[in-house]
Amino acid sequence: MDNAAPNSSSSAAATAAAVAAAAASGNGVQGGDRPEDPSKQNLAQVTASIQRTLGLLHQLNLNVSSFSSASQLPLLQRLNALVAELDTMQKLAEGCNIQVPMEVVNLIDDGKNPDEFTRDVLNSCIAKNQITKGKTDAFKSLRKHLLEELEEAFPEDIEAYRQIRATSAAESKRLAQSQNVLPNGDSNVKAEH
């Protein structure tokens, strides 16, 4: 029962899980994990609590289904433990403020995989990205074409323009490089198209 959820996950869910792991570890944001830690911890605690509850329930089930007079006491004990665990869970849940989209909840209620939601979000993001990339490429080609034509018509102006552009680009690169300094003194340089 505990493993029911992971067992039913599809490949998409697996890739999503992999992406999630990659994202979680390969985040561009190196620093700033500190504020996330408590919430992560909280989430982990809640999850653990839920797991414990599930375990207890399982045992209780076994107890009840194969009931004998001797198992009266363990039954009561487990019931009490269950209640205690529920109480713990509630207390832990108070500190948890992760916002969950309704779509996910609906998916779970319908019995589907909530990773589908994540997948949808990612896909839309990728799609948008592609669209914008296309536009960017179009503009780049337009610029290139314009400059070529202009160079034929007004060579001096273009030359002046290029010089201005080069100086400003160098300026901005220098600024960017000074910001992207790695701890060991190297700078993180991006490849220029």
Partner 1 sequence: MAGELGQQTVELGTVARQAAEESYLALRELVEKSRAGAEGEVAQQRSDTEKKIDLLKFIDRTRQRMLRLHVLAKWCQQVPLLHYCQQLASTLSSHETCFIQTGDSLFFMHEGLQQARAPIFDVSSAIEVIHTGSYRRLPKSVEEIGTQNTLFQDERKPTLKKLSTLVRAKLLETLVPKEMSEVSVTDGIANVQVDGEFKVLLTLGYRGHFSLWRILHIELLVGENTGPIKLEETRRYVLGDDIERRMAVADNPLTILYTILHELCISFVMDTVIRQTNVLRQGRWKEAIKSELVSDSHRSAGQGGNNAPTQLGQDGELDSSGFRIPGLKINYWLDERNSGSAESDSSPFIKVEALQDMQIKCQHSSFVLDPLTDKEADLSLDLSCIDVEAIILKAIACNRHTRLLEIQRELKKNTRISRSPTDVVLKRKEVHMDVLQKRVDRRGFENCCTNEVLQVRAYGKSYIHLGINIRSGGFLLQSPKNILPPSAVLDSEEALNKRSITPTEVFVSLKTRSILQLFAATGRFLGVKVYSECQITLKIPKSILYGSDFMVMGFPWRTNAYYLLMQLDDNLMPVFYLLEVHIDGEDRSNIDTTTDAKEVVRFNRIDIGQMQLGEDECIANLLDVEKLQVLQSMEDGSPGHSEIDESLPLKPSFSSVVNAVLGYERDSPSKENWLSYSSPSTHLSSQKVGRQGVSSRAGPPELDDELLHSNIDTAKVASGVTLDSYLLSNSKSANSTETSVSVPAGDHPSKLSAC
Residue 150 neighbours by CB under 8 Å, 6+ apart: 157, 158
**3-state DSSP call for residue 181?**
strand
Report the distance separating Cα 151 and Cα 86, nearest Å.
Answer: 76
CB nearer partner 1, residue 20 or residue 181? 20
Cβ 59 vs Cβ 78: under 8 Å:
yes
CB of 185 to partner 1, least distance (A): 29
Sign of the alpha-carbon dihedral angle for 147, 148, 149, 155: positive
CB of 4 to partner 1, least distance (A): 7
Contact residues toward partner 1 (CB under 8 A) are 1-2, 4-5, 16, 19-20, 23-24, 27, 36, 43, 46-47, 50-51, 53-54, 57-58, 60-61, 64-65, 67, 79, 82-83, 86-87, 89-90, 92-105, 108-109, 114-115, 117-118, 120-125, 127-129, 131-132, 135-136, 139
CB nearer partner 1, residue 94 or residue 186? 94
CB nearer partner 1, residue 76 or residue 164? 76
Residue 39 neighbours by CB under 8 Å, 6+ apart: 96, 97, 98
